[in-house]
Structure 1
Amino acid sequence: MSHLDLDLRALDIFVTVVEAGGMTAASQKKGITQSAVSQAVGGLEKKMDVMLMDRSVRPPALTPVGRTLFERAKSLLDTARETSFLVRAHQQRSLPRLNVGMVDSFGTTVGPHLVRELMDEAVEWSVWSGLTKLHFKRLFTREVDVVITEGSIPADERIISHRLLQEPFVLALPVSYEKPVDSLEELIEDLPLVRYSSRSLTGINIETHLRRLGLEARRRFEFDTADATLAMVGVGIGWAITTPLCLLQAKTHLPSIRCAPLPGPAFSRSLMLATRRHELESLQKMIGEKSREILEQRCLPEISQFAPWVIKEILVGDG
């Protein structure tokens, strides 16, 4: 047998079995029969004359040599995918399809300009927004190629990431509320808090901040998008804790909203750009550069019109 006689498809199935936790789950994920999964793993063992999985236990566990192959196979498959991307990109001068996950506020404000600037880099573009937590998961399951997501990126050798933006949380108040805001306690007494969904990272971070301050606001209104949340503020239902980019996303409601600094300790959120390592790293660099350019040349000037005091607190890029 040649030492280079490795079946990439069989390796991919083997890695999926390990990551999915079994052959049944792997067959469902790959859309093939369980018999085909078993044959692929068995074929690898026969070709290499080793036992990769201990089938005497349930579920089957990796043998030491199986663990070695699993770790090496992931790197080998990443290299193969990167090579495929590069060859197709060179031949077609663009990727056949690019799947991008974007946090909603970024997708609405920066996203259209970003896609217009880089539209020739892919024949087809598919942009997903929605809950941030799903974006990163989809990066690992290969449902998306690039994510622009909120919060820190877990340390993982398979991922390369950069910060695009750090922005502070601020207050959004109805224009009819004219009192100066010296404390959140007083504001909670005067008006209901309009919350971001507790399923969103923004909502979770805001609740964590309030608990850290020992504050409790009655739970009455909760929405899953910045536009809906700030629309409620605009009609005078209550107040919200939000960010400048979210306010820009909901700019149709800005004439009815007063933006003010958050009293007490400051806290902020970061938007991160991430891709799988060894895949699309040159495109990631282009996306990062164009995103920062759009933020500086388009978004910050617009934000300065309704909250000039906040510009000095917004950091674009890693610096």
Structure 2
Amino acid sequence: MELYHLRTFVTVAEEQHLTRAAERLFTSQPAISAHIKALEEELRLTLFDRTPKGMQLTPAGQQLFERAQRTLAAAGDFMHAAKGLHDEVLGSVRIGLNTDAEFLRLVELQSKLSARHPQLGIEFLSGRTGANIPALRIGRLDAAFISGDCNEPLLISHVLREEELAIAVPHALRDQVVAPDIFALAQLPWVYTSPDCAYYRLMQSLFDGHGCTPVKTMLADQEDAMKAMVAAGVGLGIMRRTEVEAAAREGRMHVLPMTLPTITLRLAYLRSRANDPVIRALCNALTDVWQLEEEGLALRETG
């Protein structure tokens, strides 16, 4: 029995789907099936029931699942400990972004990491929360900034700050806005974000609670696009309060006098990589950049 057999077994059990497991492991579905078959033959046990709903663990598979997880975790800790014996953190770290560099303090983060670990390559990759989470799950990203809740069991997330949000109003619509009349606001044109964005979910909860849906004029996935569309009079939009207030001071839009719930900004990565020297180096740098507790990010861990 090889470690990759156990890794395949655990991944299929977590995904309950051969194709998704293959995507996470960067291999083909036939290869995944072959690994499972070989493991079942060696153990002389049936580990999965193949059902129309996917791969379901048998009672024997359920008993072995946690043991397989612990075995993989121990092997991972062994490798991480070996890497930690090197004087330098080597390799690269791919970090998914979900908003602008200034807000995420990327210059400070790059400076800290490069000064402490000059052999570590740093890659900042643009994206959004809804795309970053699945990219983390299948290993295309090492870590990612995300906004909102993180209920993904495979991930650990650390709270960095609470984002204060506001409704931005174009000049042309200012006289039509009656706050906090939700029904009146729903009749006005809105610039939407994508459904997997935390801002969208906030807007949805705001209006769903009153049984109405705001008029959609277009979708803008990026903060700068949202700002440009609101300033151009396309519709209202939800943005970070600091951005709306700055644009209001420039005379480009107005801030609706209405308090919105905050959205949590987080850093997330795979739980199985918590002891990876690369992830630890990143977390230590973030602790300093964001001036978190002395004990580090672990005090604010969620997920």
TM-score range, shorter chain: 0.7 to 0.9
Cα offset, 1:114, TM superposition: 1.6
Aligned letter for 1:231?
A: A
Larger mean CA deviation between 57-66 and 196-205 belongs to 57-66
Aligned letter for 1:113?
A: E
Aligned letter for 1:136?
A: I
CA 1:188–1:180: 2 relative to 1, 3 Å: closer
> Percent of aligned pairs with the same residue?
21
Q: What is the aligned counterpart of 2:47 among 53, 59, 62?
A: 53
Q: 1:300 maps to what in 2?
A: none
Contact kept, 8 Å, 2:24 with 2:138, in 1: the verdict is no
- 1:207 has 2:204 as partner: yes
CA 1:262–1:155: 2 relative to 1, 3 Å: farther
CA 1:243–1:71: 2 relative to 1, 3 Å: same
Larger mean CA deviation between 100-109 and 163-172 belongs to 100-109
Aligned letter for 2:169?
A: L
CA 1:28–1:154: 2 relative to 1, 3 Å: closer
Cα offset, 1:229, TM superposition: 0.9
Q: 1:165 maps to what in 2?
A: 161
- 1:70 has 2:70 as partner: no
Larger mean CA deviation between 281-290 and 126-135 belongs to 281-290
Aligned letter for 1:274?
A: A
Secondary structure at the residue paired with 2:250? helix
Q: 1:266 maps to what in 2?
A: 260
CA 1:138–1:114: 2 relative to 1, 3 Å: same
Q: 2:130 maps to what in 1?
A: 133
CA 1:107–1:13: 2 relative to 1, 3 Å: farther
CA 1:117–1:176: 2 relative to 1, 3 Å: farther
- Could you report, residue by residue, the CA deviation over 1:212-240 in whole angstroms, capped at 9, with x for unpaired residues? 24555332233111101111222344432
CA distance in structure 1 between the aligned counterparts of 2:159 and 2:55, rounded to whole angstroms: 40
Contact kept, 8 Å, 2:188 with 2:235, in 1: the verdict is yes
Higher-Rg structure is 1
Contact kept, 8 Å, 1:196 with 1:226, in 2: the verdict is no
Q: Please list, as runs of the form range in 1=range in 2, the aligned pairs for 1:71-150 lying within 5 A after superposition.
A: 71-91=66-86, 93-105=88-100, 109-119=104-114, 120-121=116-117, 123-150=120-147
Structure 2 residues without counterparts, runs of 5 or longer: 293-299
Contact kept, 8 Å, 2:24 with 2:137, in 1: the verdict is no
Aligned letter for 1:15?
A: V
Cα offset, 1:269, TM superposition: 0.9
Q: 1:183 maps to what in 2?
A: 179
CA distance in structure 2 between the aligned counterparts of 1:131 and 1:106, rounded to whole angstroms: 13
Q: 1:307 maps to what in 2?
A: none
Cα offset, 1:36, TM superposition: 4.7
CA 1:113–1:181: 2 relative to 1, 3 Å: farther
CA distance in structure 1 between the aligned counterparts of 2:34 and 2:77, rounded to whole angstroms: 27
Q: What is the aligned counterpart of 1:224 among 214, 221, 224?
A: 221
CA 1:199–1:253: 2 relative to 1, 3 Å: farther
Cα root mean square deviation, aligned: 3.9
- Could you report, residue by residue, the CA deviation over 1:126-150 in whole angstroms, capped at 9, with x for unpaired residues? 3333231232223222222222211
Aligned letter for 1:204?
A: R
Cα offset, 1:29, TM superposition: 5.3
CA distance in structure 2 between the aligned counterparts of 1:113 and 1:16, rounded to whole angstroms: 36
CA distance in structure 2 between the aligned counterparts of 1:37 and 1:63, rounded to whole angstroms: 18
CA 1:246–1:66: 2 relative to 1, 3 Å: farther
Cα offset, 1:198, TM superposition: 3.6
- Could you report, residue by residue, the CA deviation over 1:191-213 in whole angstroms, capped at 9, with x for unpaired residues? 64333334422123213213324
Contact kept, 8 Å, 2:95 with 2:142, in 1: the verdict is yes
Structure 1 residues without counterparts, runs of 5 or longer: 1-5, 295-316
- Could you report, residue by residue, the CA deviation over 1:281-301 in whole angstroms, capped at 9, with x for unpaired residues? 63354244134249xxxxxxx
CA 1:13–1:191: 2 relative to 1, 3 Å: closer
Instruction: Give the length in aligned residue pairs.
Output: 286
Q: 1:234 maps to what in 2?
A: 231
CA distance in structure 1 between the aligned counterparts of 2:195 and 2:104, rounded to whole angstroms: 23
Secondary structure at the residue paired with 2:159? strand
Aligned letter for 1:267?
A: P
Secondary structure at the residue paired with 1:219? strand
Aligned letter for 1:142?
A: G
CA 1:115–1:18: 2 relative to 1, 3 Å: same
Q: 1:286 maps to what in 2?
A: 284
